[in-house]
Structure 1
Amino acid sequence: MRLEPAVPDSVRAAIRAPFAGAGAAIDPAVIQPLGLILDLAGEAMHARLFVVQGQGGEESCLRPDFTIAVAREHIASGAAAGRYTYEGRAFRVSPAGADHPEEFLQVGLEAFGGADLAAADAEVASLAWRSASAGGRDDLSLLLGDVGLYRAFVAALGLAAPLTQRLIRAFSRPRTMGAELERAQSGDVAERQGDRIASLLAGLPETEAVAVLQDLWALAGVQQVGGRSAGEIAHRLIERSAAASAPRLTEAEAGLIRRYLEISGEPRAALAQIAALGVNLDGPLGAWSQRLDALEAAGAPRERMSFATGFGRAFGYYDGMLFEVRSAALGEGFSVAGGGRYDALPVRLGGGQTGAVGCMVRPARAWSGALS
C-alpha cells in the first residue's frame, strides 16, 4: 500500500489548530460495512475501495473517508445534534495508471444539527480554508458549488417528473448529462432496426419478449454463438425502448441547462448570471449571498474564491453546498481540502432530519514542503 510523505509535527499541529474546540474528538472504526459504503459513497468511489473479508464473514471495506463513519457513530449515540473532529487515516485504491497514496491522513469536522444552515456552511468552509492555509502554501484557491442549487434550478423548469429525476441523477455524470442534452437535438430521426425491434418487444412480458426474439433469430437464420443470452438482449432492448419513449428536453430547455452549467467565476458575479437566466431561484440565491458574507467575515479572501455551477464532488452523498480548496501547484485532481452539506445522509442511515455539513483537510497536500 503506497503511503504519503510524513508531515513535520509542527506543520501538522498548525493544520490541526483551527479545529481545536470545534467539536468532540472521535476516531470511528477503520472497518466499515461494504454494502453501505457502496450504496452511499457514489459510483466514482466503487473501484477505489479496499475490500476486506474475514473467513466466513461479510465483506467490509477500509474507510475511504470519515463522513459516513462519523455519521454512523453520531446516529448510534442518539443525540439530535453533535459536532465531531477527527484526525486519522483513510484508504483508497489508487486509480489505474496513477501513483496516488493509498493510505493518507485526514483532519476534519462533521457537524449535525443547527438552524442557520448558511452560517454553518460558511463556518465549516472557512475552517477548512484556515486549516489548509496553515500548511504554508501561497497558491490556494477556494472553489464553491451547490448540488441543491442545481436541483432547485431543474425543479423550477416544470419538466415531467421522470425527466427531472434523470437530470438530477446526471449531475455528477458528465457523459449521462451530455446524452440527455443531445437527445433534445436529435429530432425525429429514422428508427434503426434495433429500435424497431425494441419497440416490438417493449409491450410484452419479458418471458414472451425472449421467445419473440428467439423466433426472429430463427426466421432470419441467426445462430447465437457465445455473448449475451436472449434474455439479456431482450432486457437491454426493452430498456432502450423505454429510454427512447421517455420525456426529453426541448432544444430551448437543453440550451437553458447548458447555459446554467457553463456559469463560472467570481461568486457574486456568477450568482448574478444565474439570476439573469430568468428561473425563480430567489431563496437559494439569497442563501448564497448570506454564505458569501459569512465566508468573507470569517477570513476567506474574496479574490481567491470562485463559484462553478457544474462543480461536483466524487462522493455521492452531498446534496447541498460544496467546496474544495485547491493548489495551483498540485492541480485539479489533488484537492487540499473539501467538503459540503449532506442533509439526506443521516436520514438514509436511520437518523433524523437534523442537517449535516462537514469538511476534511489533507495535511500532506497542505504542507508547502511536500512535492508538487
Structure 2
Amino acid sequence: MRLEPAVPAEALAAIRAPFLSAGATPVEVPVLQPLALLLELAGEAMRPRLFVVQAEGGEEAALRPDFTIAVARAHLDGGVSGGRYFYEGKAFRAAGATARAEEFLQVGLEAFGGDDPVAADAQAAGLAWRASLAGGRDDLTLRFGDIALFAAFIDSLDLAPLLAARLKRVFSRPRLLAAELDGSARAGEAQAAVNPLAGVSEDQAVAALAQLWAMAGVSPVGGRPPEEIVRRLAERAEAARAPHLTEDEADVIRRYLALSGPPQAVLDQVAALAGPARASLDAALKAWTARLEALAAQGVALERCTLTTAFGRAFGYYDGVLFEVRSAALAEDRPVAAGGRYDGLIARLGGGAGGAVGCMVRPARALAAGGE
C-alpha cells in the first residue's frame, strides 16, 4: 500500500487549528466499515477504490475510504438530533496503476442538524478554505457546484415528472447524462430496462429472486438484499417508459451545464435560462446570494471562487452544495480539500430527516511543498 509523505508536526498543527476552533466534538470511528452499506450509500462507482476484507464466515467490510458515512453512523448511534464532530485519521483508497497514495491523512468536520443550511454550507467551505491556506500555498481557488441547483433548474423546465426524476438521478453520472442529452439513450432503452419480474407482487418477486439465488448457489453482489433489487428493477423499468427530451429542452440543459465562472455571474445566467416553473429555482438562487454573503463573512476571497454548474461527485449521498479547494500546482483530481451537503444520507441510515454538511482537508496536499 502506497503511503503519502509525512506532514511536519508544526504544519499539521496549523492546518488542524481552524477545526479545533470550530467547537466540534472529537470523534473516532472504526477503520473497517460494512461493504454493503458503503456501496448502497456511495454507489457502485466506489467499488474499484475500496480495499475489501472479509473474516472467515463474516460479512465483507472495507477500509474506510473517507469519514463521512462512518461519522454519520456514530452521530446516529449517539441518539442526539444535532452535533458537530471533528476527526483526524487515515483513510484508504485503492489507486490502481496511478502513483497516488492509498493510505492518507484526512482532517475534517461533519455537522448535523441546525436550522440554517445556507450558513452551515458557508461555515464548512470557509473552514476548508482557512485550513488549506494554513498549509502555505498561495495558488488556491475554491470551486463550487450544487446538485440541488440543477434539480431546481430541471423543475423550472416543467418536464414530465418521470423524465425530470431521471435527469436528476443521472446528474453525477456524466456518461448517462450525456446519453439523455444527445438522444442515444432512446434506442433500445425500453428493452434494456425491462423488469423481468413485472406482473407479480413485490412479495412474490422477492421470493422468486431469493429462490433463484438459492438454486444457483450465489449471493447478491455487495450483499444487496432481494427487496432492494426488486425495487430498483421496478424503478428503472418505470423510468424507461418516461418521455425523452426534445432537442430544444436538451439544448437549454446543455447551456446550463456549460456555465462556469464567478458565482454571481453564473447565477444570473442560470436565471436567464430558466423555464416557466421557477418557484423552486428562485428560492435556490436567493439562497445562493445569502451563501455568497456568508462566505465573504467567513473570510473566503470571492474573487478566487468559481461556480461550475456541471460539477458533481460520484458518491451517491451528496445532494446539495459541493466544493473543492484546488491548487494550481496539483492535478484537477487531487483537491486540497473537499466537502458538501448530504441531507438525505441521515434518512437513508434510518435517522429521519435532518441537515448534514461536512468538509475535509488533505494535509499532505495543503502543505506548500507537498504534491500528494
Question: Which residue does the alignment assign to 1:308?
Answer: 308
Q: Does 2:263 correspond to 1:267?
A: yes
Question: Which residue does the alignment assign to 2:341?
Answer: 341
How far did residue 38 of structure 1 move?
Answer: 0.6
Distance 2:238 2:20 in 1: 54
Amino acid at match of 2:245: L
Question: Which residue does the alignment assign to 2:248?
Answer: 252
Report Cα offsets for 1:6-50 as digits up to 9, x if no partner: 000000000000011420000111111110001011233111111
Question: Which residue does the alignment assign to 2:182?
Answer: 182
Contact (CA 8 Å) 1:321, 1:340: kept in 2 or not? yes
Structure 1 residues 29-108: aligned runs within 5 Å = 29-94=30-95, 96-108=96-108
How far did residue 352 of structure 1 move?
Answer: 2.4
Change (3 A) 1:107 1:241: closer
Amino acid at match of 1:268: Q
Structure 1 residues 91-170: aligned runs within 5 Å = 91-94=92-95, 96-170=96-170
How far did residue 327 of structure 1 move?
Answer: 0.7
Contact (CA 8 Å) 1:80, 1:352: kept in 2 or not? no
Change (3 A) 1:204 1:303: closer
Amino acid at match of 1:282: D
Amino acid at match of 1:325: V
Change (3 A) 1:356 1:185: closer
Change (3 A) 1:295 1:52: same
Change (3 A) 1:271 1:161: same
Change (3 A) 1:240 1:267: closer
How far did residue 295 of structure 1 move?
Answer: 0.5
Amino acid at match of 1:362: R
Report Cα offsets for 1:285-318 as digits up to 9, x if no partner: 0000011011011111011100000001232211
* Runs (5+) with no aligned partner, structure 1: 208-238
Distance 2:298 2:83 in 1: 22
Amino acid at match of 1:299: G
Change (3 A) 1:156 1:39: same
Contact (CA 8 Å) 1:195, 1:240: kept in 2 or not? no
Change (3 A) 1:242 1:67: closer
How far did residue 97 of structure 1 move?
Answer: 2.6
Contact (CA 8 Å) 1:184, 1:248: kept in 2 or not? no
Contact (CA 8 Å) 2:166, 2:239: kept in 1 or not? no
Question: Which residue does the alignment assign to 2:27?
Answer: 26
Change (3 A) 1:93 1:148: same
Could you list the structure 1 runs, at least 4 aligned residues long, displaced by more than 6 angstroms after superposition.
Answer: 202-207, 239-244
What is the DSSP-based 3-state SS (H/G/I as helix, E as strand, rest coil) of the residue aligned with 1:47? helix
How far did residue 276 of structure 1 move?
Answer: 0.8
Q: TM-score with structure 2 length normalisation?
A: 0.84
Greater mean alpha carbon deviation, residues 349-358 or residues 75-84: 349-358
Change (3 A) 1:103 1:206: same
Q: Percent identity?
A: 59
Change (3 A) 1:151 1:244: closer
How far did residue 203 of structure 1 move?
Answer: 11
What is the DSSP-based 3-state SS (H/G/I as helix, E as strand, rest coil) of the residue aligned with 1:149? helix
How far did residue 165 of structure 1 move?
Answer: 1.8
Report Cα offsets for 1:77-110 as digits up to 9, x if no partner: 100000000000001110x331111100000000
What is the DSSP-based 3-state SS (H/G/I as helix, E as strand, rest coil) of the residue aligned with 1:172? coil
Structure 1 residues 355-370: aligned runs within 5 Å = 355-370=355-370
Distance 1:29 1:296 in 2: 36
How far did residue 185 of structure 1 move?
Answer: 11
Aligned CA RMSD, in angstroms, stands at 2.7
Change (3 A) 1:204 1:350: closer
Bigger Rg over Cα: 1
